[in-house]
Structure 1
Amino acid sequence: MNTEHLAKRNLLIMWFANFFIAGSMTMVMPFLSLYIETFGNFSDPYVQRWSGLTFGITFFTAFIFSPIWGRIGDHYGRKIILVLSGIGLALCVFLMGFVTSVLQLFILRLFMGVFTGFISTSQALISTQTPKDISGRALGTLQTGNVTGSLMGPLFGGVLADTVGFSSTFQLTSISLFIAAMFVLLGIQEYRIETENESAQPYSRKEVIHYILTHPVLLTVMIVSMFVQIAHFSIQPILALYVSELHGPVNLAFYSGIAFSIAGLGNLLMARKWGKIADSIGYEKVLVFLLLASGIIYLPGAFVENIWQLVALRFLLGITIGGIIPVRTAYIRQVAPVSIQGEVLGYSTSLRFLGNIIGPALGGLLASAYGFTSVFFTTTALLLIGGFSFGLILQKQPKAIGKYSS
């Protein structure tokens, strides 16, 4: 089997694996705050606060482990990491169906963070198998698997939660996670593309960090990725509560699922196209545009008066914010040597997870103290600051992709 055919086969398998992983993980997101309410007679501020903390704690352990998995993947391969990640996630989610307190749920989501690196590791796997000039397109294609799962997951999760209850939904979700792990175990054949001017020699952790710090645009891309996650995830844990305020309690899990998943539809329509556009005109330009556009789209969310206005805005948001991840990953593929791409992506993912930690906690605290609208104002400010800051750095560091020595 030649490498071109093998690359297409691996991309197809990882597309389906990402579909199952993303779908499974987003199945439970719309009703996490509602699940917490079943543990006792709690006040709204209590539920909002613990929704943020329980949602965010997963990313605390992911923040710690992501660079470690990246470095292990660079040295020993990414297939084994993907398999362990899928099985670990399946076990954690299965056990969540049996918890009886907020603390138990909190602890399980903390342990879940150790294994929350499947999608980022799959990006590293496909990135190292893809020629640089089409990396944006390939990673955009992979992203559509992620967003298709994210699109369908909340809808299925909402329907399942309303039909069979929260506990059974967690148990059914764990089956999908296990299937994703089996796809990788039985189907993936790992290899990577080496180029003439890229050394295969191993780099120490100190050398990798030095490489990142001496490439200002790369460093800024990684930091801005954290800003994006803070902004995007600040609304996630309280979205169901916001939907409840706009729409009322009737079929709440279902309508929360629509609000979550509609962003995935916009993402699905444009993720591959953003990657293709970025391959043609430059990743930096596309990233600046997407950051500014996302910030502008978030702002009207503070002023919506019904559920369908919120749904329309989240669809537009999906079109813009969904292109950021594949374009960012393709940019790193361009500037980082093959032998350290996994670790560089690991540090980038770690910063994203740090944003995932800060975002839900910040969103929960802001919502409980100042109301839901304050979350939208903060989110808009972060994205606009990120976009303008990145644009200024580009003006000071005009060297484009391909100018960095590997």
Structure 2
Amino acid sequence: MDSAVAAGKFPHGWHRTFYTLWLGAFITGMGYSMTMPFISLFINELGSFSHFQLNFYSGLAFAVTFISQAIVSPFWGSLADRKGRKLMCMRASGVMACTIFITGLSQSVWMIIAMRTLQGIFSGYINNATALMAGETPHSRSGWVMAAMSTAGVAGNLVGPLLGGLLSGAFGYRIPFFITGLLMLSVFLATWLLTVEHFRPIKKAAMKPLGEIIHELSNPRLIFVMFLTTMIVTASTMSIDPIISLYVRSLMHNRGNVAFVAGIVAATPGLGTLIAASKVGHTMDQVGPERILRIGLAVAFVLFIPMTFTHSPWSLAFWRFLLGLANAALMPAAQTVLTLDVPAEAFGRIFSLNQSFQAGGAVLGSLLGSLISGLSSYQMVFAVTGLTLLINLVLVLAVRTPKTAE
């Protein structure tokens, strides 16, 4: 770690690097949400598909990115610890610029699936940008920085669907892919020219095995539970997102402007997270990330109870807004625990392994939400999701460090 960071000071060029990476993460999140909601409609234009085929190909195009990401991320993490996280950010943004742009040129569904697979293999901008900032930030400010970095993707996910919908409606489904590809190219150039990483390369032979590093930690079980937390929190989001519009339609009895109301209900958690993130981050630096994580999980579990029994889309929107406030304490807190408890020379591998769990959570959540809603009801998805967060809270309580066990 840089001497300035070790001394509790921001190193030279820190603020420019932070703003550049925050904007890069914002564009990455925006580009994803600007294209993915319309992937099934794009696929539908490429051939004559049955209802089953369209749903199968759409699900496959969604899942292959996360599956390939989960498999390959540990390799990129090891490379990041030897070559630096800036290089990994450039690798991710550069390849994503190409694959997303080429997706817009697709003439068959298999070309889309192939590009989505490559995108998953080479993705990881937000993950590596977060790891880079973790290594550049004094521990006394880690909570705020991790919370701020998390808002970048959230803000992008709020803007993306609106922009993607406008562009798709006006110019067709290919245009958002072309624009996202060009934006990712600008992210590549900005990351290359404007960011500074104080990184000392480590030879492969000199690197400690990750298992040995984790074994030497004071509380290695805590690190594993943070990985599980990342997976469970991601799964809790992905289990709800695919069925939220259908749930809203059932609450409205298929009357009125369902799409508009569903859009509001879908966006409210992101709005809540944006509002709370900065305050939660500062509080995390004062009281510690583990305590914030426990409170966030407890509140999130409680909020899923009224969401399960609500009969109005507007009350659902209200409870989901409060859930967004609680969500501001979940992923950033887990990432901050990893930042504070793991040596800087292992950040790349740790954060990439964390990304594998995140990708696994995305696949697990999507399958879980579809399966439960198909076999039971939409309400049951909310009930099971709340229960998984309660289990997560129990695990976090079981492995808390002695200093926070008071």
C-alpha separation between the residues in 2 aligned to 1:126 and 1:378? 35
For the 8 Å contact 2:217–2:341, the answer to whether it is kept is no
Q: TM-score, normalised by structure 1?
A: 0.85
For residue 388 of structure 2, the aligned residue among 373, 382, 389 is 382
C-alpha separation between the residues in 2 aligned to 1:361 and 1:116? 22
Deviation at 1:347, TM superposition (A): 1.5
**One-letter identity of the residue aligned with 2:323:** L
Q: Deviations over 1:32-85 (max 9, x none)?
A: 455455555644x77666554432321111111222212111111111211121
Gaps of 5+ in 2: 201-205
Deviation at 1:181, TM superposition (A): 1.7
Q: Deviations over 1:172-217 (max 9, x none)?
A: 2222222222220121111159xxxxxxx63124424545796112
Q: Report the secondary structure of 1:203's partner residue.
A: coil
Pairs within 5 Å for 1:70-219: 70-99=77-106, 102-192=109-199, 202-208=207-213, 210-211=215-216, 215-219=220-224
Equivalent residue number for residue 197 of structure 1? none
Q: Report the secondary structure of 1:230's partner residue.
A: helix
For the 8 Å contact 1:49–1:364, the answer to whether it is kept is no
C-alpha separation between the residues in 1 aligned to 2:72 and 2:313? 38
**One-letter identity of the residue aligned with 2:238:** F
C-alpha separation between the residues in 2 aligned to 1:297 and 1:110? 36
For residue 263 of structure 1, the aligned residue among 263, 266, 269 is 269
Is 1:332 the counterpart of 2:335? The answer is no
For the 8 Å contact 2:95–2:119, the answer to whether it is kept is yes
For the 8 Å contact 1:10–1:188, the answer to whether it is kept is yes
For the 8 Å contact 2:84–2:199, the answer to whether it is kept is no
C-alpha separation between the residues in 2 aligned to 1:350 and 1:140? 20
**One-letter identity of the residue aligned with 1:175:** L
For residue 18 of structure 2, the aligned residue among 11, 14, 17 is 11
C-alpha separation between the residues in 2 aligned to 1:23 and 1:125? 21
Distance 1:357 1:186, change over 3 A: same
Is 1:355 the counterpart of 2:369? The answer is no
Equivalent residue number for residue 225 of structure 2? 220
User: Mean Cα displacement is larger for which, 347-356 or 105-114?
Assistant: 105-114
Q: Deviations over 1:361-401 (max 9, x none)?
A: 2222333333332322221111111012211322xx52459
C-alpha separation between the residues in 1 aligned to 2:385 and 2:106? 32
Equivalent residue number for residue 323 of structure 1? 329
Equivalent residue number for residue 232 of structure 1? 237
C-alpha separation between the residues in 2 aligned to 1:52 and 1:301? 26
C-alpha separation between the residues in 2 aligned to 1:298 and 1:258? 18
**One-letter identity of the residue aligned with 1:378:** V
Is 1:289 the counterpart of 2:295? The answer is yes
Equivalent residue number for residue 25 of structure 1? 32
Equivalent residue number for residue 196 of structure 1? none
Q: Deviations over 1:311-362 (max 9, x none)?
A: 3333222211133222211111111111112211222221122111211122
Identical counterparts, % of pairs: 29
C-alpha separation between the residues in 2 aligned to 1:106 and 1:333? 35
Deviation at 1:124, TM superposition (A): 0.4
Q: TM-score, normalised by structure 2?
A: 0.85
Q: Report the secondary structure of 2:402's partner residue.
A: coil
Distance 1:177 1:301, change over 3 A: farther
Count of aligned pairs: 393
C-alpha separation between the residues in 2 aligned to 1:29 and 1:316? 26
